[in-house]
Amino acid sequence: MVSLLTSLPYLLILCYLVLIIWAAVGHRSDTMAWLGLWNGLVLLIALFVLPWITTGGRDTFDARTDDLSLHPLFSELLEKVPLENVWNETPILYAVITCNAEDTDKCLDKIPDGAIRRYATLTRNDTNIESFRLIGQATGAGSGLRITIVVLLIWSLFYFFWMIAKVVGMHANYFPEGMRWALAGVGVLLVPLVLWYLPIVDTLGYRDIFGISTVAFLAGARVGPGIGWAFIGLLIGLVVLLISDDSSSANI
């Protein structure tokens, strides 16, 4: 599974190049439809298969909490700062550095903030987190990420089925003409949103919530390839939508 995920981006790039060259040389609506179909498939792979967040998992989480709890800086800090005063504001940091590694599970259960607790548990238990699993994680101020993922998911499904219908020449029967422009319009709105979340998806789209950033640091969370491929798929999808000619494709 890991080797498949590692080699997948190279396969995607190779197929993209072949199809783009074919579409450019052929410059016919059927070649564009095949490129669009492949692009729709890439979007679905990016949303359902490729991770949007990769973490170091349980080993990294426990090793980092252990390192922090043993560091003299924090021993001094804990002596000066009464724990009960700061528990409600930054529970995660104080929870982990006052626990031994083997007690981390119990310490995480004590975190009062539900979003931080869920994210800590998720990043500790899983090394690859796909987009659809983030929908339930980002809540409150971070619900923008959740909405973006849901809209992107619906957009990708519509786009994929539209391209299937276009390849088999049935799209005129099932999809109204205005749908291409509606998809293009929503796609244009999605581009800056996905671009905005691209660097900060590892903190669930939050920019300044210390607890979430701390969880991301402890788990060694990094932005995975999924959101990057989703962005590429979205851009190429938009280009295909804007330059594909419906009137000629009906003759495929």
**What's the rounded Cα separation, in Å, for the pair 247 and 175?**
13
Task: Check binding of 199 to another protein (CB under 8 A).
Answer: yes
CA-closest candidate to residue 153, choices 100, 209, 85, 227: 227
Residue 84 CB, shortest distance to another protein, in Å, is 11
CA-closest candidate to residue 155, choices 179, 123, 176: 179
Of 72, 176, 178, 192, which lies in the binding site for another protein, with binding defined by CB under 8 A? 192
Residue 85 CB, shortest distance to another protein, in Å, is 6
**What's the rounded Cα separation, in Å, for the pair 208 and 18?**
43
Of the pair 83, 170, the CB lying nearest another protein is at 83
Of the pair 71, 170, the CB lying nearest another protein is at 71
DSSP letter string over 11-51? HHHHHHHHHHHHHHHH-SHHHHHHHHHHHHHHHHHHHHTS-
Of 69, 90, 121, 139, which lies in the binding site for another protein, with binding defined by CB under 8 A? 90
Task: Check binding of 219 to another protein (CB under 8 A).
Answer: no
For residue 92, the SS3 value is helix
Task: Check binding of 207 to another protein (CB under 8 A).
Answer: yes
Tokens of 169: 């020449």
Of the pair 161, 196, the CB lying nearest another protein is at 196
User: 222: which strand partners?
Assistant: 54
Number of residues that bind another protein (CB under 8 A): 33
Task: Check binding of 146 to another protein (CB under 8 A).
Answer: no
Residue 221 CB, shortest distance to another protein, in Å, is 9
User: 203: which strand partners?
Assistant: none
Q: Which residues bind another protein (CB under 8 A)?
A: 64, 67-68, 77, 80-82, 85-86, 89-90, 93, 144, 188, 191-192, 195-196, 198-200, 202, 207-208, 210, 213-214, 217, 220, 222-223, 228, 231
